[in-house]
Amino acid sequence: MVSIVVTPPAREQVLRLLDQERRPDAALRIYVQGGGCSGLTYGMTFDRQESGDEVAFQEGQLTVVVDHASAPLLDGLRIDYLLGLEASGFKISNPNAKQTCSCGKSFSA
């Protein structure tokens, strides 16, 4: 099983976006793909379909889905949402990342 923490501010923002897009039944899919400065990038999207090759769990009212290939790289992940003068947006902290780029969107494991 994969352990991912979506902080209350991040969960509220995702639920707000789902409501704006009129997709209240969609899940938040989190995944890893090749690319970026450090070799791997994070991806997040809204998805209604489950492929069957994934782990799904609830974070309050939010369903989070992670495919089995990404799960080992995302175990222990923490997703937060910041809103401030110097930094705004989703912030990802990954204990599995050996190196990250300065923008925080790319990592190596």
Confidence at residue 66, expressed as pLDDT on a 0 to 100 scale: 93
Confidence at residue 74, expressed as pLDDT on a 0 to 100 scale: 92
Q: Along the 109 residues of the chain, how does pLDDT read in single tens digits?
A: 788 999 999 999 999 999 999 988 899 999 988 766 667 888 999 987 667 778 888 888 899 999 998 999 999 999 999 988 777 899 988 888 776 665 555 565 6
Dist. CA 64–CA 96, nearest whole Å: 19
CATH assignment of 4-108, given 3.90.190.20, 3.20.20.70, 2.60.300.12, 2.60.40.10? 2.60.300.12
Confidence at residue 107, expressed as pLDDT on a 0 to 100 scale: 62
φ/ψ of residue 30, rounded to 5: -115, 135
Cβ atoms of 106 and 41 closer than 8 Å: yes
Tell me the domain boundaries of the chain: 4-108
Beta strands at 27-34 and 62-67: parallel, antiparallel or unpaired: parallel
